[in-house]
Amino acid sequence: MKALMASSVVCVALGELGDALAIVTILTLNAILGALQEQKAEGALQALDKMTAPTARVRRYGKVQRIPAAELVPGDIVLLEQGDGVPADLRLIEAHGLEIEESALTGEPYPVPKKAGLITDCVPLLDCDNLAFMGTNVTRGRAAGLVTATGMSTEIGKIAGMLNEHKREPTPLQNRMAAVGGAILKYSLAASGVVVLAGVLRGGSLFQMFLTGVCLAVAAIPEGLPAVVTIAMASGVRRMAKENAVVRHLPAVETLGSAALICTDKTGTLTQNRQQVQSVYTSSGWWQAQPGDQQLKPVQAGNNDPQDLVTMLTAGVLCNDAGLHWSQNKPSTGTKPQWRVEGDPTEGALLLATSQNGLNYKEIQGKWRRVRELPFDAGRLRMTVICREKSLGHAVFMKGAPEIVFGLCSQIQHRGKIIPLDDISRQAALEASERMAGDAMRVLAIAYRPLDDPGLSDPEQSLILLGLAGMADPPRPEAANAIATCHRAGIKVVMITGDHPYTALTIANKLGITKSRKVLTGRDMERLNDFELAAVVREVNVFARVLPAHKLRLVKAFRQQGEILAMVGDGINDAPAVKEGDIGVAMGRTGTDVTIQAADIVLIDDDFATLVSAVEQGRGIYSNIRRSVRYLLSTNAGEVLLMFLSVLFGLPMPLLPIQLLFLNLLGDGLPALALGVEPLAEDLMDQAPRPANQSFFDGGLNTQIVSRGVSLGLAGLGTYHWALRHGDLNRARTVALATITSGQLLAAMDCGERKGSKSNHFLAGSVAISAALLAGAIYLPFGRRVFKTSPLGLMDAAVVLGTAGLTSIMDKAIADFWHGNKSGKKPKMPSNKEKNGELPD
């Protein structure tokens, strides 16, 4: 950029206003395109502010009053009830059936039981069940809590602080382009200096040679390079938008293609972010949910009694405070309508399972009127209701932790009949519970009994066990294939979640993230210093029970190893880590405004597979930029070499300033832009990621640039010298112009050719247009007057095209020689052990 700005100043000083205007226009368009992509880049803190509850109910001076939440101070007593947002960090001093949804901190959607009292043991913050945190929501019960922190001192406030600390760094491509610009400037100045010195030593005018040197330096700088890079990325943005990935920060497009590591949240990213009844156990057999529709089917046909399932689902509906409504998630995403749960996701899963299995839960609840309730709390670990139906009378229904419910049951329903709960039946139910828990399900036991006396002081006894329901947040159907594609592409996938270690490890094993049993928790991380953590993260693919600060620390530890990292998340707890990653990726449907504002890329369909497609696009963009740079630098090098050698050999200037401008217009214009929007090759995801410190010119690019530049320069010099010997200077310059331009257009076609790619109609069209413009400049009277050219005869045209064709043949021969020598030196792909977080043997 600096070199181009300097060039525009020099062009103005020399009176070349056309060159100056072209350079300034390119720089301006580049800045506008970048600004349009980033105009909404810094809204995360404002979005976080909206989470704070506007008012709070407090008990002050013995009176209950409502005050603005901003006026809370440590020591205030805040009163909470169902539906309230927690306005500050609190230590609970009263709690009655309290459950709080803490996804703002953990990312997990299910409510957490809370209780009052002191905790004497040293436990992680997430396991402190006597604390309530600002930004979380009360889903059940009521409580009173003592304010311990407000504003930026709260856990949510600390997230805001972490977001504010991060400063955006230059992307790998920006660093590489800066290095390319520095190299161009250095070599162009060196060549210009040699030309000026040689000309002066041969008796030329110092001023004239200085002007020649400046013109040579300006000709060496590819003015179209910034526009090519920007348009290549913008083209990628357009293609990614069609794949449901919206880019908010333009350079992130290419950076994603460099990613060697993807760190992802679990809930809502790899899973569907909804609890689903996946398994049901009754004494007559097992029932399994079918993928997609949640319909329960017998595991062994013929053994199961449907009446047992219906009775259990009916009890689960009656002992339930959740609701369902039919709606879209976000209208702007175009998602299909679906059931949405209001209340506890676990209870909502029971309602959904009932609806998907032919029962109308609203009719069931309408027939049975609730007359009494014993609510769930952290001490009881169960919920009990007494309901009345006109013809059947009263009955008690219970759901809760299996170990609690089993102890309150004396009978069990088997094929519609009530039989004693003997040791064999009890052991079978216990083993079924352990089996579900082993599959990372949340297990609820469901029981009931008819009641003769609804006023019974202790209705929770002598119950009839109906069965067990196992619920889980199922993996996304496409996630496993997407992760397998990442592994094939040499990209390591790491899960970072606030969920429990066993659940996280089970999902990771199912999706193929890891085959090992290694998992690191937030509590484990707190025992490690930064150096020890950096050593450990190489061996682990699953991190569980982590807070936002832990996620941020993990991202920093991975980045210290020099790998390009993409951080994927949806919750507020993910936002600091998303912003810290080399590429931050947020979910569009389930993602919070805070995380979306902190991200570089937003996945509109919340599909992890979309991210993999975006990685492929990023790799294609980098490949296209390299192809454009190869073309621009090799053709500009040919121009410089032609002028450089002409001056050294004492020949007249082979190209006039207006011809140089025309040459740069044809070369740095349409063909270069067309190369930047080349279709993707089919094998991009079969290659290893680029190392973060890899030179832009690795892989033989420097050899290709030099060889094509030398062949173009020598071809132009040869035809120029031949034309000088057989005609006037004007005709010779026309021959040189035609030779260099024809060679450039052939170079563009050569750069566009590669195995496994589709044809680029834009490139073919741009070459045809450029060839037509060259013909117009040579053969049309107006073109000859403007560009000081002469019409070429058949012999001249044959020499020009033949010599230009030789440059293409030479280039292909050198490329074949290079690839032949390098065929056995492919980038090292990670081993299966390394992909799974294990150390290689």
pLDDT in tens, 573-584: 888 889 889 999
The Cα–Cα gap between 600 and 578 comes to 9
Is 120 a member of any domain? Answer: yes
Is 327 a member of any domain? Answer: yes
Which pLDDT does position 726 carry in this prediction?
Answer: 84
Is 454 a member of any domain? Answer: yes
CA dihedral 592, 595, 601, 604 (to 10 degrees): -10
Average pLDDT over residues 622-648: 87
**Are residues 199 and 94 part of one domain?**
no
Q: pLDDT tier at 198 (50, 70, 90 boundaries)? A: confident
Domain of 71: which CATH number? 2.70.150.10
Which pLDDT does position 463 carry in this prediction?
Answer: 97
Burial label for 470, CB within 10 Å (0-12, 13-18, 19+), is: buried
Is 113 a member of any domain? Answer: yes
Burial label for 220, CB within 10 Å (0-12, 13-18, 19+), is: buried
**Are residues 619 and 485 part of one domain?**
no
**Helices within 72-138 (DSSP H only):** 103-106
Which pLDDT does position 27 carry in this prediction?
Answer: 54
Provide the mean pLDDT of the chain.
Answer: 83
* Chosen domain end from 555, 581, 606: 606
**Are residues 125 and 215 part of one domain?**
no
**Are residues 657 and 805 part of one domain?**
yes
**Helices within 439-538 (DSSP H only):** 479-488, 501-511, 522-526, 530-536
Structural domain for 503, as ranges: 256-271+476-606
Report whether pLDDT(88) > 90.
Answer: yes
DSSP string, 18-51: HHHHHHHHHHHHHHHHHHHHTTT-S-HHHHHHTT
Rounded to 5 degrees, φ, ψ at 525 are -65, -35
- In this structure, the number of other CB atoms found within 10 A of the CB of residue 202 comes to 12
Report whether pLDDT(438) > 50.
Answer: yes
Average pLDDT over residues 466-484: 92
**Are residues 412 and 315 part of one domain?**
yes
Report whether pLDDT(483) > 70.
Answer: yes
**Are residues 647 and 778 part of one domain?**
yes
Q: What pLDDT, in 10s, does the model give residues 673-694? A: 888 888 888 888 888 888 877 7
Is 798 a member of any domain? Answer: yes
Is 250 a member of any domain? Answer: no
Is 709 a member of any domain? Answer: yes
What's the Cα-to-Cα distance from 682 to each of 212, 677, 754, rounded to whole Å? 46, 15, 10
b/e 346-378 (16+ beta carbons within 10 angstroms → b)? bbbbbbbbbbbbebebeebbeebeeebebbbbb
Q: pLDDT tier at 18 (50, 70, 90 boundaries)? A: low
Best CA proximity match to 148, nearest among 164, 127, 125, 122: 125
Least confident window among 125-129, 410-414, 611-615, 633-637: 125-129
Dihedral sign, CA of 463, 464, 466, 470?
positive
Which pLDDT does position 334 carry in this prediction?
Answer: 44
Best CA proximity match to 223, nearest among 190, 175, 251, 184: 184
Least confident window among 200-214, 276-290, 459-473, 793-807: 200-214
The Cα–Cα gap between 817 and 71 comes to 75
**Are residues 723 and 659 part of one domain?**
yes
**Are residues 355 and 297 part of one domain?**
yes
Task: Classify residue 126 by its DSSP letter.
Answer: G
Which pLDDT does position 11 carry in this prediction?
Answer: 58
The Cα–Cα gap between 294 and 553 comes to 39
The Cα–Cα gap between 82 and 95 comes to 12
pTM of the model: 0.75
Which pLDDT does position 755 carry in this prediction?
Answer: 56
Best CA proximity match to 185, nearest among 2, 19, 3: 3
Report whether pLDDT(625) > 60.
Answer: yes
Average pLDDT over residues 449-455: 85
Which pLDDT does position 519 carry in this prediction?
Answer: 94
Is 75 a member of any domain? Answer: yes
Q: What pLDDT, in 10s, does the model give residues 787-807? A: 889 999 999 999 999 999 998
Report whether pLDDT(288) > 50.
Answer: yes
* Chosen domain end from 606, 625, 651: 606
Residue appearing with tokens 């250095």: 186
Q: pLDDT tier at 837 (50, 70, 90 boundaries)? A: very low
Average pLDDT over residues 137-156: 90
Average pLDDT over residues 382-403: 95
Report whether pLDDT(36) > 50.
Answer: no
**Are residues 559 and 647 part of one domain?**
no
Which pLDDT does position 414 carry in this prediction?
Answer: 95
Decide which of 643 and 145 is more confident: 145
Least confident window among 92-101, 593-602, 661-670: 661-670
**Are residues 73 and 200 part of one domain?**
no
Report whether pLDDT(335) > 60.
Answer: no
* Chosen domain end from 606, 629, 662: 606
Best CA proximity match to 587, nearest among 479, 471, 440: 479
Question: SS3 sequence, 544-602?
Answer: ECCCHHHHHHHHHHHHCCCCCEEEEECCHHHHHHHHHCCEEEEECCCCCHHHHHHCCEE
Which pLDDT does position 132 carry in this prediction?
Answer: 94
Q: Looking at mean pLDDT, say which of 94-108, 240-254, 416-430, 626-640 comes out highest.
A: 416-430
Catalytic residues: 265
Report whether pLDDT(821) > 70.
Answer: no
The Cα–Cα gap between 753 and 390 comes to 80
Report whether pLDDT(211) > 60.
Answer: yes
Average pLDDT over residues 704-730: 91
Task: Classify residue 475 by its DSSP letter.
Answer: B
Burial label for 9, CB within 10 Å (0-12, 13-18, 19+), is: exposed
**Helices within 356-415 (DSSP H only):** 361-367, 402-406
**Are residues 760 and 694 part of one domain?**
yes
Radius of gyration, alpha carbons of the chain:
35
Are residues 288 and 277 in contact, defined by beta-carbon separation less than 8 angstroms? no
Q: What is the tally of structural domains in the chain?
A: 4
Best CA proximity match to 465, nearest among 394, 424, 411: 411
Report whether pLDDT(19) > 70.
Answer: no
Which pLDDT does position 128 carry in this prediction?
Answer: 85
**Are residues 446 and 351 part of one domain?**
yes
Residue 836 one-letter amino acid: N
Report whether pLDDT(333) > 60.
Answer: no
Helix/strand/coil percentages in the chain, nearest 5:
50, 20, 30
Decide which of 408 and 651 is more confident: 408
Count Cα atoms within 13 angstroms, Cβ side, for 457: 0
Report whether pLDDT(443) > 80.
Answer: yes
Domain of 431: which CATH number? 3.40.1110.10
What's the Cα-to-Cα distance from 389 to each of 307, 392, 670, rounded to whole Å? 19, 5, 79
Report whether pLDDT(45) > 70.
Answer: no
